Amino acid sequence: MNRILTASMLALALSLGGAFAPAFGAGTETGPASAETFADYAAGKAAVAAKDWATAIKHLTAVVDADPDNADAENLLGYSYRKSGNYEAAKRHYWQALKLDPDHRGAREYLGEAFLEQKNLAKAEEQLAELARICPAGCEERTELQQAIDAYKKANPGG
């Protein structure tokens, strides 16, 4: 029975693939590291898609507690905290994702956006420079952060 459930969960994970990835800017997303965290990871991603931040935080916290090396879960947890208005918790989880994977494009983009939302253009531009290093030919996360920085500059011409 346990093998059937595990196989079913893995099949579902493969069928979903990166279905939610573009919405989360997690170009390096690999998903849950184990079958035991899959249900919480999937529920967390669904809650993010539904903008239900409290539920996302609950499920993604369970994932990072069970799988502390999951940079993708740390990134999505940071995203959920940022969208709920808790910037300190958000940045803590983005930095943890980057500690686990220094080239995590999604975490770089979202950290840059968090800095912009806190009116710290210089720090946002540092994350853009990291994205330029990570994907010199361009990538979705780099483009989106560049667009956010351009919009910020247009809305705040004096800095």
Cβ atoms 124, 113 nearer than 8 A: yes
CA separation for the pair 125, 22 (Å, rounded): 22
Query: Residue 17's pLDDT is what?
Result: 40
User: pLDDT averaged over the chain?
Assistant: 85
Q: CB burial class (10 A; 0-12, 13-18, 19+) of residue 6?
A: middle
Least confident stretch, 27-41, 65-79, 116-130, 135-149: 27-41
How many other β-carbons are positioned within 10 Å of the β-carbon of residue 88?
A: 9
CA separation for the pair 135, 103 (Å, rounded): 9
Q: Judge whether residue 9 has pLDDT over 70.
A: no
CA separation for the pair 29, 36 (Å, rounded): 18
Query: Residue 30's pLDDT is what?
Result: 59
Is the pTM higher than 0.95? The answer reads no
Q: Judge whether residue 7 has pLDDT over 80.
A: no
Query: Residue 2's pLDDT is what?
Result: 37
Over range 84-111, report the average pLDDT: 98
Q: What are phi and psi of 26, to 5 degrees?
A: -105, 70
Residue type, 38: F
CA separation for the pair 147, 6 (Å, rounded): 41
